[in-house]
Amino acid sequence: MKSVATIVVMRHAQAIELRPGGIDLARTLTPRGREDARRMGQWLRLQVPNLARVISSPAVRAAQTVETVLMDWPAPASQTVFEPSMYLAELETLVGLLAGSDAAPCLFVGHNPGLEDLLQWLVSEAEGARPDLGLSPAAITVVKFSLDTDRVAQGSARVDCQMTPDRLARD
């Protein structure tokens, strides 16, 4: 029997600029970033209410995004992992993290360009034009793919829904 996995790909929310001599891992969210993450969390809760896992970069801005996204959920994801390899991860690393996926919906929170590369790799153009897969800060793309094999295949996913903080403000 074929099962379908749901992966929610989210870029961290807007963070403070890196100051000369500053530490990138320690950058925090701006007030706008916190508000965007909160609103996106409310939207996500309606789209994927059964979120089971979170895999996030350990960067402070990513961890704060996760915390803020989940703050209004009555029962947030049961498993949250701050995976060191997610920090500024490249495509191969992200695909490797997906390889262990099961059908339980999972939220990936990380950084560009890796997350955009992952979406480009996952989403097939077979059903017509590929949607815009760019990720602005706090943007979310929900993708679904089949788990009928041992590994995730390039072009095997389809976009279920997408949202950005700016579009959410207009809708």
Structure confidence at residue 143 (pLDDT):
93
Structure confidence at residue 77 (pLDDT):
64
Structure confidence at residue 125 (pLDDT):
64
CB 114 within 8 A of CB 91: yes
Q: Is the pLDDT of residue 93 over 70?
A: yes
Q: Is the pLDDT of residue 81 over 70?
A: yes
Mean pLDDT across the chain:
88
Q: Is the pLDDT of residue 129 over 60?
A: no
Residue found by looking up tokens 């995004």 in the block: 65
- If pLDDT is split at 50, 70 and 90, which confidence band does 3 have? confident
CATH fold, domain 4-170, is: Rossmann fold (3.40.50)
Q: Is the pLDDT of residue 30 over 90?
A: yes
Which residues are CB-contacts of 114 (< 8 A; sequence separation ≥ 6)? 88, 89, 90, 91, 93, 94
- The dihedrals phi and psi of 29, each to the nearest 5 degrees, come to -75, 150
**Choice among 16-30, 66-80, 88-102, 121-135 with the minimum mean pLDDT:** 121-135
**Choice among 28-32, 33-37, 141-145, 155-159 with the minimum mean pLDDT:** 155-159
- If pLDDT is split at 50, 70 and 90, which confidence band does 29 have? very high
Structure confidence at residue 21 (pLDDT):
92
| Single pTM value for the model | 0.92
Structure confidence at residue 171 (pLDDT):
61
Domain boundaries, the chain: 4-170
Q: Beta strands 4-11 and 140-146: pairing type?
A: antiparallel
Structure confidence at residue 7 (pLDDT):
93
Structure tokens given for 94: 């992200």
Structure confidence at residue 128 (pLDDT):
53
